[in-house]
Chains A and B, each alone.
Chain A
Amino acid sequence: MSDHEYTPKSKAGKWFNDRLPLLTLANHLTDYPTPKNLNYWWTFGGILTFCLITQIVTGLTLAMHYIAHADMAFESVEHIMRDVNYGWLIRYIHANGASMFFLAVYIHIFRSLFYGSYKSPREIIWIIGIIIYLLMMAAAFMGYVLPWGQMSFWGATVITNLFSAIPLVGEGIVTWLWGGYSVDNPTLTRFFTLHYLIPFLILGLVVLHIWALHVPGNNNPVGIDIKKPSKDTVPFHPYIVIKDGFALLMFMIVFAFFVFYAPNILGHADNYIEANPLVTPAHIVPEWYLLPFYAILRSVPDKLLGVVAMLSAILILAVLPWLDTSKIRSAVFRPLYKQFYWILVADVLILGYMGAMPAEGLYLLIARVATAYYFLHFLVILPVLGLKERTIPLPLSITEPVLGGSPNMAMAKKKESKLE
């Protein structure tokens, strides 16, 4: 938070600001002191905001033409693709936008894991982030149901059926979720309603996420606390705005490539077959971004325990700030953690791959090992590592060298004096 008091220059501005301090807010946002050493992994917050707004705007437009009815949903999507002006463009942006959103959020999450951004004093930012991520998964899943294709229908059947694993009340809950005795029209209409609601919940949480961020300020690649404002920081505008803008444009090029040249590559062909409760697809596969959790679900032989494992895999992230016992944030200064970090990345990628394969033979075996390792990482490796690991000495500030003994010290000094 910038500490200086802000007073608008004009009289009218002052009059307004005394009653509703929007100008103070705007001033805070533009002046917000940001560490100057943020790398491009830090640009994904802005990119994610763009993704959310894109999904809301295209989604609103689609909702004007979409019909949430089991007999008409599939046809109304084809109506959008064929008869609505630029309907194909809006739908392809929305469908691929979901994938882009998850791509960005995974980079954002793994950036946080690498640089320890979830640690004190940023636990609340992190937990709000995990709630946003959970809501994103719910929204994406329900959105995938709306075209009422084969994967929509059978995906909805599989996922809602998970609740039947709950002892005693499970079956009742599933009937209640469906609004009947199978996935049908009542399921579709409530999914549509919730799919429409959730993005606005996410928007509200994003405001809280940013608010909570602006209290301690950004973490940075070095992971040390810095004085704000100081020579280690730059004002958000124009420095970070232009940098985020540049990164966003690069992201948009990738996004545009998918929308215009491979709009269906991330989807499943079966979803262009209208939902048919009498024909089960050969393989029921969720969208790519849910695959690691799907693999965890299937690697546990017991249904209830599988569901518990899948949910724990996500919820364990919420307590991560307390599982990681190391006081050092950035993996740059944690040689051992850095290696385990990359193993975790590989582990999640392997889980994702296994989620797309049939759950049998070697695939199942690897999925089980990877699932076990996933939990081992968070429950054993992280707590122990924080206590045992010998870390590299931290520098005093972003611009100043490490206290004593750093090989880069002389060089850093030279650079400093040159600039003065």
Chain B
Amino acid sequence: MDFLAALIPLLPFLAASVIGIGMLLGWITGEKSESTTSTISIGSASLSTLLAFALLVGDLTGNGAGTYSIGQWLHSDLLQVEINFITTGFNVYLTALFAILLLIATRFSVNYLHREIGFHRYFFLLNLYTSAMLLLVSAGSTVGTFIGWEIAGLCSYLLINYAYDRDVPATNATRVFITNRIGDAGFVLGIGLSFFYADAVNWDDLNNIATQLSMPTATVIALCFTIAAFCKSAQLPFSPWLARAMEGPTPSSAIFYGAVMIHSGVFLMIMLQPLIEQAPFVMMLLAVTGFFTAAYSFVVGWTQTDVKSSLCFAITGQIGLMFMECGLGLWELAAWHLCAHAIVRCYQVLASPSFMTNVHGSPVKALSPHLQKIHWLYVASIQRFWLDPITDRVLTRPIKGLGEDLNFFDDYVVDRAMGDPVSSSRSISTLKQLEEKIKGTETLGDTPRHFGRGNGIAGKLMEWSGNILGWFEERLVIQAIGVNIIDLGRTLGHAANTFEELMLKPRYIVLFVFVFLLIAGTR
């Protein structure tokens, strides 16, 4: 019975592979192949759904073993990652629910995307995503869930980028993926730390050992996973990515950000219930962040003028409430909330293109007059609490600036210090140089030629020692100093000034703190 769990994500993966290979080799192309693609997609999604329900019945009637393992995926010393699945409880309910929602969205897309240029690409990605999501909710190990997590994120990137020949989707997709990458780093850190502290790669092992972990350890591990969850479920401070992600085709928005993927953060928290209960701080963080995200979404939602944006903030708001429920210890409620929300949102987002016709003639209810008077709240709502500009200011720009400075440093300091034989080899490589040579106006050759000329630290040292020896050879000719030393002093002073200015920039102060921590951490 339990072996079905392995087939559920495998079938859509095979469908994606068939469509992908077909596209690459030119077998599946154009409108005439649309029926092939849709048959494959719907077939695999239906089979997965049937299997998921079979598994659900098996679990409800008590015929399931609880876990199923195919075998080892990765093995290195004590680290042993298996390809295994959880075939009981919440995971199975969610697998069944998500499978059917994914099937519905797939069927909806067949008509919605008819005669679109990217039809086959869309279905390739949708199948891959179906597979990833079903793996995410059924995988038994942290690594397995992460694989689903990451591939779902990649599909999200590629579907936001569905109209890749326009600038806006491409920019948004990149930004969404990079924001999510921060959460992914938290997840990997969580995987690493749970292996390090608890020798646990499987969710069951981690939860079983959770009660034996000390509170700080449990807090650190839980915190890593919490960051990942906040990021994936668009909680504060990561919320802005969701509005950018609505760029993709509507059915994909419904299934990614309405029904399925957006809930994976809450799912992760519910999975880790025993661990998180060991960490009161994380519980508090969940409740507080959830509350603030709900409040933020509520306020920003007021001023949204299009359907997709309104829905987007409604979604983050509801999910914020789910996190709050988790934080308050109402795990069961959060689980029910998740399932109910997934179903309602799937319908709402799928139906959003016809929303305008449906509500024609019934105007939107105005905001209460008390709230209308609070102007700062209105501005904040319009500006979405300045989250994007703040991120730019605090994170993006300093990193970019650091990159610029390092680039300059590499070109003008490191490269020169290490030496570069460009000027010393004096080969003629451009036509201009050749002409100059013929005319005798060579710009490279106007300095007197020394026998040995060096570049960089090593080169200069050689050159200097050579010069000193030459100087002795010429029987200690007295050289005049004076002008040179003043020039040198001036140059040095200038360099020191620039250095001082650079060092006072906040990004370097932060950098020094990091370097200090790095060194302090190693000793």
Is A bound to B? no
